Amino acid sequence: MPRLPLAALPRVAVALLAFGLAAARADFAPHTGSRVAALSASASHGDAAFAAAMTSRGTPPAISLPGGATWTGTLRVPALPVGGMLTFGLDRAGYTASAEISTDSTNGTDGTWQNLPVPLWLPEETGNLRLQKLDIPASAAPLWIRLRLPNPSATAVTNLADLELHAYDPAGKDDIWIALGASITRTSIYHAQFKAKIRELHGPQYDPVLFNLATGGSTTYTWHDGSPNLVAQALAFHPRARFVFVHIGGNNVTNIRPYDPATDSRDVIIGTHLESIYRTVVNAGRVLLPARLSFRDYKTAPLVNAGANPENGSLPYNVSVLDPLIARFAPHAYDSAAGRGRVDPYTFLLDRQHYLDGDGIHLTSSGRLAWTTEMLAPMAGAIVYPPPAFAFTSQPVSAAAFPGATVRFAATVNLPSATFQWFHNGAALPGATAAPLTLADVQAASTGYYELVATESGRALRSDRVTLTLADSSTSRTLWLDLGSASFPAPSPDSTGRRWNNLISSTNGSALGSLVFADGTALSGAALSVVASFSGPNTSGPTGNTSEPSEARRDSFYVTGTGTSGTQRS
């Protein structure tokens, strides 16, 4: 890998950083008992499950709302000294919401009802059931609330999920997160999965709420410009949010590659904007969790070549611009030993390029889920929550590769002081002492099983054992492919454990540069592309093959007229 001609940067003193981190983590510890039980609950759709969950501090399963229908949920809420919120999310763009409140109703229908505002954040953008909230005012006595959500489609089913009732913490230590960013973050923040991973890593006493405020195509200009700017609007929209994840600037970099810090001053705009954005968050009393720019394998010149030419990508901006700002504004999120930000999607995706979509920038369906569960929750969660027991937070994945291809295995643990050693067929690999393992020009001698041993303070952990096999023209394994819209990607894995590949564009040249077999094995050195455009995506497609996930059955690509269309090649 070519050496970057980057000037040495001043680093924060290790002793000061360590002291600051220890003090900050103690201060970050969030409130752990925010979920409250409704005194009674009823709903127009999904009533029994909704009532059972809401009266037991639970989360009901997703509710299917038929086309043209309006969901109405009614709750008797206990006294909330400083107020609370009811969260919800719909998987369809363009919806509206309304609510009412009553202090004198006796059964949820009689009495006097007044309108209760339900402001929505960017409901016109789809985004993985973007979480919204209904603020409930402070009250010394129980009260009734009623929420109405119309399905904006007259014909298609819309799913309603993430219904949770929370009380705000009188001490102000609410475990509420907001995420700011562009399309990668917009499509890759999953509230329920984030919560589950935090509870798995740090304990079931934590109950975080994660609001995705990212907007597609945004730049530092988008978030910095205006009065008030979008960052200030986001903070005002969620005044109880303590933790602010920021991943902004990638769309700036796209237009000004490569960056040479010795001669190029265009980074000043990104640096100035990010400094202002970070300062706005910190001055508002929030815990800033800034992320380095993600690794992108740009397919346009100048090429990044899968990481072999990092100077043509986002790395120089991380080193010269973001890392110094992170050290300055969020020392708790800065790793002085490594000299970089601790929330590091750059290294995460560099080591897991099978998560990149065909454009080398955005993420596959598996990559979008991993952004939440394998990157954000472990990396940012380690800053906010008390350290858990020594454990792997992500495991390596088996791979099949054509001869001559490059294969990467990677795993992560939750303690940054751990050391590593990779083993191949039971023998230690000389020099393989980093969590990611890169195997170039794989051949028959490279095949077999691999495992990673992590050691920390005398404790040793052994990763899952994974295999590397060679692929050729006679290789026969199952690969599942879902053709359709970005709104309904097939889950990967699905309920039976099968991994899926989602192709969400029907135009000529659309491609999946990374493929995965049904058993989770990554296929290196192969790609799939559309060589003749389909007519478009259909989101109300066949409903047969009921053994397949509903997302795979409800959308497809279609062809009208005659002629050649819809051909794939790998």
| Amino acid 26: pLDDT | 42
The H or E element that residue 237 is part of is helix 230-237
Look-up: residue for tokens 């202090």?
Answer: 103
The residue count of the chain comes to: 570
| Amino acid 542: pLDDT | 62
| Amino acid 514: pLDDT | 74
Task: Select from 431, 399, 359, 384 the least CA-distant residue to 515.
Answer: 399
| Amino acid 474: pLDDT | 64
Collapsing DSSP to helix, strand or coil, 479 comes out as: coil
Task: Select from 191, 329, 311 the least CA-distant residue to 261.
Answer: 311
The pTM for the full model equals 0.73
- How far, in Å, CA of 477 to CA of 570, rounded? 14
Q: Would strands 568-569 and 407-409 be described as parallel, antiparallel, or unpaired?
A: unpaired
| Amino acid 488: pLDDT | 76
pLDDT mean by block of 10 residues, the chain; 570 residues: 34 31 55 92 97 97 95 98 96 93 96 97 77 97 97 92 96 96 94 94 93 94 94 97 97 86 70 95 97 95 92 94 97 93 96 90 91 95 86 87 89 86 96 93 94 90 93 72 80 77 80 78 78 78 65 78 42
| Amino acid 22: pLDDT | 36
Q: Count CB neighbours of 472 within 10 A.
A: 8
| Amino acid 349: pLDDT | 95
Token digits for 373? 């569960």
